[in-house]
Amino acid sequence: MPQFQFPHQTAYYKGKVRDVYTIGNNILVMIASDRISAFDVILPKSIPYKGQVLNQVAADMLHATKDICPNWLTNVPAPNVSIGKKCTPFKVEIVVRGNLTGHAWRTYNSGKRILCGVNLPEGMKENDFFPTPIITPSTKADEGHDEDISKEEIIAKGLATEAEWNTLERYAFALFQRGKELAATRGLILVDTKYEFGKINDEIILMDEIHTPDSSRYFYAEGFEQRQAKGERQKQLSKEFVREWLIDNNFMGKENQTVPHMPDEWVNTISQRYIELYEQVTGKKFIPENWSDEQTYNAILNTLELPVKKV
């Protein structure tokens, strides 16, 4: 994906997965690439249609939750492009967990019973439901690894006031509940997810993507209890299978570790899993769209009501 240059552009940021353009002082153009990251490392091969999947799932979910809290999205002019309001971000990610899975399980299995200041119950097995969902925030690193942080540390460091945190917490739990309800209608369990928020003046705004395979983990509801009873792995739709493949190939993003070779067959498998998640989560048939860079660029210009021109 090329780096575009738009009229009235004031900033450009290349994230792990998205390219973000600031237009003037108040508009963001967010382009979801086919890049894939795990353990905070961008993997060497891109995944066909991953950007389209992420962008369209996020747009669906932002639309389905706009009654809970205001969000940043205003337009989706191309398969992998979203345009919306520029916010001043909180420098934390709000991670909501309904089950003891992933990072939470690895922490628990190491013998620790406190995660981000939250006490974890004794006697839990991997993938068990928490008695009620918990929030385990992390710092939002521009580079390198995000770090666990507690609610108390967030307030003490001035990353959010106590009043702001109370709103963030309320929004996050309500969004997670809605996400679980939507997932249940599709035969899925929303296991955990992350939310990012910002502010416009004094209003707290939901930003970025929500309930996508990059920001969330889903289990299939059918057979969940039986698999738990037998101690079997849960059937899931998320990026965790990519992390598990990397771990099996001796990579966890640590110093001196090398990203393993990704065969084309494995890249295609990842792509198909993303498409499967799109169809399962949204209930819609995935229609691959192969837009040229020029088409994408001009669609953005049209939406912003800027003069259309050659890339």
The CATH number assigned to the domain holding 73 equals: 3.30.200.20
Query: pLDDT per residue over 159-209, tens digit each?
Result: 999 999 999 999 999 999 999 999 999 999 999 999 999 999 999 999 999
The whole-number pLDDT of residue 305 equals: 83
Sort residue 44 into left (φ over 0), alpha (ψ -120 to 50) or beta.
alpha
Percent of the chain past pLDDT 90, that is, above it, reads 85
Could you tell me if residue 30 is inside a domain? yes
Provide the token pair at 102: 């992933």
HSE on the CB side for 222, CA within 13 Å?
3
pLDDT above 80 for 253: yes
Query: 17-46 pLDDT, tens per residue?
Result: 999 999 998 999 999 999 999 888 899 999
Measure the CA angle with vertex 132, ends 129 and 138; round to 5°. 90
Phi-psi map region of 9: left, alpha, beta (phi>0 left; psi -120 to 50 alpha): beta
Q: Looking at the predicted structure, is the pLDDT value of residue 234 above 90?
A: yes
Q: What is the pLDDT of residues 92-119, one digit of tens each?
A: 999 999 999 989 999 999 999 999 999 9
The CATH number for 220's domain is: 3.30.470.20
The answer to whether residues 165 and 295 belong to one domain is no
Give the C-alpha separation, 280 to 185, whole Å: 10
Same domain, 147 and 177: yes
* DSSP category for residue 211: S
Question: Do 95 and 78 share a structural domain?
Answer: no
pTM for this predicted structure = 0.90
Position 132 in a domain:
yes
In contact, 46 and 36? CB cutoff 8 Å = yes
H or E segment to which residue 192 belongs: strand 188-200
Give the per-residue pLDDT at 49: 97
| Cβ atoms 134, 96 nearer than 8 A | yes
Q: What pLDDT was estimated at residue 238?
A: 77
Together in a domain, 15 and 133: no
- Considering the domain architecture, whether residues 84 and 168 belong to the same structural domain is answered as no
* Total structural domains within the chain: 2
pLDDT at 310: 54
Same-domain status, 275 and 296: yes
Domain span including residue 104: 90-241
Q: Is 182 helix (H, G, I), strand (E, B) or coil?
A: helix
Q: Tell me which DSSP letter residue 148 carries.
A: B
Q: What's the alpha-carbon Rg for the chain, to the nearest Å? A: 19
Both 24 and 95 in a single domain?
A: no
